Amino acid sequence: MKTDRLQQQLRFLAEIDQLKSVLRRTTLIDKSRLENSAEHSWHVALMALVLAEHRDTEDLDFLRVVKMLLIHDIVEVDAGDTFCYDIEANRDKLQRECEAADRIFRLLPDDVGSDLRSLWDEFEEQATPEAQYASAMDRLQPILQNLNSQGNAWQQHSIRREQVLSRNRHIGEASQSLWDYVKRSVTEATDKGWLID
């Protein structure tokens, strides 16, 4: 029994290694290459801890937040990364990702797979303070990447100021101070020509 359980866990871990090959549209700050989804997941999990003092909700379960952020993009192993500003690709994103979640989390023993799937669903539904904070970190990370690379990905994809503000406005539901920072920074980025006004 334990051997079977271990084999399932190891198979899952080997499967999610593929996340390291899923490329996002955002470059590393040094602009040397595109970021992959595994790097993104690690980065947002660490951001959640480092920026914790800026949250609006006092009592958050940070272990739950970090778990959500580490698994939130696992579905991209099957579904790929969907560029947030690609309207057409986003039409069936949820369906593709739910199908991926069904397959990938079923690789694990039932209790572990069910627990991780539940965290993934919580992140997607955005109904808890933990999910809202985790999502705020997920949205903030590519903004910070762009601000530190002179708007590299924004410029490559001709992104408009209003697109960034509209897509990311719910950062303010988790942290008003971080949202205020984003709004100021987006205005400055627009003034510098990194975003289309």
CB 49 within 8 Å of CB 64: no
Q: List the CATH number of the domain containing 82.
A: 1.10.3210.10
**Tens digits of per-residue pLDDT, 46-88?**
999 999 999 999 999 999 999 999 999 999 999 999 999 999 9
CB 129 within 8 Å of CB 40: no
**Tens digits of per-residue pLDDT, 130-155?**
999 999 999 999 999 999 999 999 99
CB 20 within 8 Å of CB 74: no
**Does residue 8 fall inside a structural domain?**
yes
pLDDT for the residue numbered 3: 83
Model's pTM, two decimal places?
A: 0.95
**Does residue 27 fall inside a structural domain?**
no
Number of Cβ within a 10 Å radius of residue 87: 8
Which domain does 68 fall in, by range?
2-19+32-191
